[in-house]
């Protein structure tokens, strides 16, 4: 079960809450420097930047772009039963729940991000899954 983040929706939430738009790069850096649930895919609207036609990996995070279709349509196509989608978009929420996905608001997701600590920030998990990060994320949500 994975996590899919509606990138442009989360950027809009951050801009409204913090009064500034960190941009795509700022959002990706915030996620990369945090202990976030894995696997995590960030989906942005529009074409991929030059040199990344199929998306890209940012450490532990996959980044993809919707191209000519909407990010909402791509997210809907990606979500599988048990996946968690991060969005505040009501229509997308309903569509993902129809596919037996879970939905978390950007506020809850962002408030659950914690900075990576010491050695954790330097060495990736050999399996690509950091069980401790997941446990802490869900413990804070209760």
Percentage of residues of the chain with pLDDT beyond 90: 63
Collapsing DSSP states into helix, strand and coil, what is residue 91? helix
pLDDT in tens, 64-114: 999 999 999 999 999 999 999 999 999 999 999 999 999 999 999 999 888
Long-range Cβ contact pairs of 26-31 (< 8 A, separation 24 or more): 28/58, 28/61, 28/63, 30/113, 31/5, 31/58, 31/61, 31/113
Q: What pTM was estimated for this model as a whole?
A: 0.80
Q: What do you get for the CA distance between the two ends of the chain, in Å?
A: 19
Q: How confident is the model at residue 119 (pLDDT cuts 50, 70, 90)?
A: very low
pLDDT at 132 exceeding the cut of 60: no
Q: What does the block give as tokens for 125? A: 């998990």
Which residue matches tokens 């998990």? Answer: 125
pLDDT at 18: 93
pLDDT at 138 exceeding the cut of 50: yes
- Beta bridge mates, 84: 3, 102
pLDDT in tens, 42-69: 999 999 888 887 789 988 799 999 999 9
């Amino acid at each position: 079960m994975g996590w899919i983040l509606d990138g442009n929706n989360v950027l809009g939430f951050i801009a409204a809450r913090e009064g500034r738009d960190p941009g795509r790069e700022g959002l990706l850096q915030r996620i990369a420097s945090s202990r976030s649930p894995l696997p995590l895919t960030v989906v942005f609207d529009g074409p991929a930047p030059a040199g990344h036609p199929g998306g890209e990996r940012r450490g532990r995070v996959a980044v993809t772009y919707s191209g000519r279709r909407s990010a909402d349509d791509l997210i809907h196509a990606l979500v599988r039963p048990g996946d968690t989608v991060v969005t505040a978009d009501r229509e997308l929420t309903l569509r993902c729940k129809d596919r037996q996905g879970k939905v978390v608001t950007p506020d809850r997701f962002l408030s659950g991000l914690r900075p990576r600590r010491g050695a954790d920030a330097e060495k990736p998990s050999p399996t690509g899954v950091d069980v401790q990060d997941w446990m802490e994320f869900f413990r804070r949500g209760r």
